[in-house]
A and B are shown apart, each in its own frame.
Chain A
Amino acid sequence: MTARNPTSVELLAILDAAVEAVILIDAHGAVEVFSRAAERLFGYAADEVVGRNVSMLMAQKDRDLHDAYMDRYARTGVPHIIGIGREVQGRRKDGSVFAAFLSVGRMADQVPARYVGFLQDLTLRDQALAAVVRERDRANRYLETIQTMLVALDTQRRVTLINRKGCEVLGCREDALVGLDWFETAVRPEDRRDAAEEFGTLLAHGTKMPFDTEYRVQAADGSVRLIAWRYVLVREPDGSVTGILCSGDDVTETRRAELEARDAREQMMHVSRLATVGEMAAGISHELNQPLAAITTYAQAARRLLIASDFRDADITDALEQIAGQALRAGEIIRRLRNLVRNRQTQRESTQINALIEELGALTRVDARMHDVRVRLDLAAVLPELELDPIQIQQVLLNLVRNAVQALEYQESAGREVSIRTALAADGDVEIRVCDTGSGVTEDMLERLFLPFATTKSDGTGLGLAISRSIIEAHKGTLEYMPNMPRGACFVIKLPVPEGPNS
């Protein structure tokens, strides 16, 4: 198809179809053509406008300027609007004012000059803009009022935004931080390296999941707060990471309270261990007196043999060997006791539960011998290592074994046996059972069994089982009672196997 000029019918159709209002004026500003869209925009019918000055369509401010523009252009030929376009204020028939974008063209070869104006209604745009501003203000209010620190960092670790709470915690103004390296400025030097490293790793291997971490920040006045952070990656629509939004809660007080509670709990456990050892004093002295008696007797016998010069070498060497062995036996008991009563912080170690139970033998024997009870070990051949505090778990086991031994007090001496059994449970937990063949737990005691100060013993504190359960629960395990078959009590400890590369 070759280009041709449109006919006037076609031009009129184009004029009426245009979304933009089209207005033709002469050199004096009188309206010559007023399109359908113009009628809709201004609320005037074309015949109400045609022939009248275009300034009637303008708000007061533009009206004054318009005449001056026309005048100057006519005089100087320097356009102020032609070919450029600008935002103007329109005035409707009902007097209301609206924003519109006006572009103006001068018709070619027309003398005197005639102009065509295109007006684009900006009302919707302004409404949208206003909505955006409202939303922004609201978001800002949220940002400013929430009691969570919000810090946005770019990929260069620079602060791009920090909310009021953030400033409050750090004791500085927003503009004092924006643009600065967050880790160098706000993070406590001791935590700086790790925190920054973590940040870098997260940026490099970005994840969709929020990432939680904890480190300390340092306020302008030198005070230090512990903050629990949640990181969320900020992405462009194309998926590229532009930074990280960090929300942080001040957990300084919470953590301090937790630590104090933990200290109190540990203190209680320690006191309970001391009490246990106190209750075991008679048994312990027996366990120590046995090797001591053997040692002194061997030594005295050897001395007599040597003085009498009437001996076989084997008698002397055997005695000396026995002395050394018995001294070690006594030392082992003391070492176990010392470990048990040492005041120490909780420490988790990778531990073989079977080895732990075997080590405990030096102490469980104390009560067992006192009460003429046999302690039978039935240990699973292979068990995964557990992450636990060995002393605390020994405390629990010792407590359970002592309870079991005491439960057998009125039992025929032939059947006095406590068994400690370890096994891998079907759900993958490690299970330890301490069972006796005593009279079991009575129905009415069952409910209160694990409550503090619930005891049936005249000399018991009633704290043993309560503390034992709290220790096991702190290890994310369970401690339950179940009747032993055909008779007696059974306490079942279940401890989770840590998830590791080996599992």
Chain B
Amino acid sequence: MKESVPTAIVIDDDDAVRSSLKLLLRSVKLPVTVYASAQEFLPKYSVDQPGCLIVDVRMPGMSGLELQQQLNLRGAMIPVIFITGHGDISMAVEAMRHGAFDFLPKPFRDQDLLDRVQRALEKDAANRREIAQTERIRELFETLTPREREVLELVTSGKPNKVMAADLGVSQRTVEIHRARVMEKMHANSLAQLVRMSMDLKESAHPDSQGGRRER
């Protein structure tokens, strides 16, 4: 699996469906790999592989839903588009509840699938950018001294310098120096940017859902 090239990964036990999807995705020049089962796919998968999954819900051995749970456990956040020959609403609901990116009943229009694949790839890219961004902020944060971290906390909670000086028991001037150092170390151009960085940090420390998905 070539890293860094976003790839559509098809997992379907039906030979004809699998090969037809491969041809369709190739026709729009999307890199594509196919697997006949979840068991075949899992050992070859690396979380660093960007892309999206197109998975049949019901397969012998490990079902699509079971695969999704496995991926969740590994912290993989690759978007999963489920396809199914059963127009089964309850299954669709369950898949979405477990964080499926989308759900498409067979047979489908090529454009419907390609649109979803496109959106899933964008979503994956965004996720990956977000992760990379958070990683960078964390690295910068690690360079702050304990006192500077305190100042960051107070600044981003909206306290004026005078109040901070009182809280910390230092002079207002000292607060201003710390504050300038924090802005410099965090590569922040404005208070607003610093606030957003701080929020990102808090969020990544307490993610509100596995894989950090907040939107579609």
Contacts and interface: CB of A to CB of B under 8 A. Distances in A.
B107 A297 contact: yes
A484 interface: no
Contact of B86 (A286, A291, A329): A286
A299 to B, nearest CB: 9
Given A369-B58, A372-B60, A304 B24 contact: yes
A56 interface: no
A172 interface: no
B110 interface: yes
Contacts of A325: 16
B85 interface: yes
B109 interface: yes
Contacts of B108: 293, 296-297
A289 interface: yes
A294 B27 contact: no
B88 interface: yes
Nearest to A298: B20
B28 interface: yes
B64 to A, nearest CB: 12
B21 interface: yes
Contact of A413 (B19, B61, B113): B61
B106 A292 contact: yes
Contacts of A297: 17, 20-21, 23-24, 107-108, 110, 113
Contacts of B75: none
A285 B87 contact: yes
Interface in B32-58: 58
- Prevailing SS type, chain A contact patch: helix
Given A282-B88, A296-B107, A413-B61, A290 B17 contact: yes
B16 A372 contact: no
Contact of A294 (B16, B58, B60, B63): B16
A322 B22 CA distance: 13
A319 B107 contact: no
B24 A300 contact: yes
A268 interface: no
A300 B61 contact: no
Contacts of B88: 282
A301 B107 contact: no
Contact of A293 (B28, B59, B106): B106
Contacts of B61: 372, 413
B20 A289 contact: no
Task: Say which size band chain A's interface belongs to.
Answer: 20 to 34
Contact of A326 (B16, B28, B110, B113): B16
B86 A322 contact: no
B14 interface: yes
Contact of B85 (A290, A308, A329): A290
A305 interface: yes
Contacts of B16: 290-291, 294, 298, 322, 325-326, 329
B19 A322 contact: yes
B27 A305 contact: yes
A289 B107 contact: yes
Contacts of B105: 289
B58 to A, nearest CB: 7
Contacts of A305: 23, 27
A304 B27 contact: yes
A291 B60 CA distance: 18
Given A295-B107, A296-B107, A322-B16, A301 B23 contact: yes
A315 interface: yes
B203 to A, nearest CB: 38
B85 A289 contact: yes
Interface in B73-122: 83-88, 105-110, 113
B113 to A, nearest CB: 8
A285 B86 contact: yes
Highest count of chain A CB atoms <10 Å: which of B16, B28, B61, B108: B16
A290 B106 contact: yes
A294 B20 contact: yes
Interface in A355-413: 369-370, 372, 374, 413
16 contacts: A285-B86, A286-B58, A290-B16, A290-B106, A292-B106, A296-B110, A297-B21, A300-B24, A300-B109, A300-B110, A304-B110, A322-B16, A322-B19, A325-B16, A329-B16, A372-B60
10 closest residue pairs by CB, A with B: A293-B106, A289-B85, A300-B110, A294-B16, A297-B20, A301-B24, A286-B85, A293-B107, A304-B27, A301-B23
Given A286-B85, A293-B20, A301-B26, 9 more contacts: A285-B85, A289-B87, A289-B106, A292-B107, A294-B17, A301-B27, A319-B20, A372-B58, A372-B61
Interface of A: 282, 285-298, 300-302, 304-305, 308, 311, 315, 319, 322, 325-326, 329, 369-370, 372, 374, 413
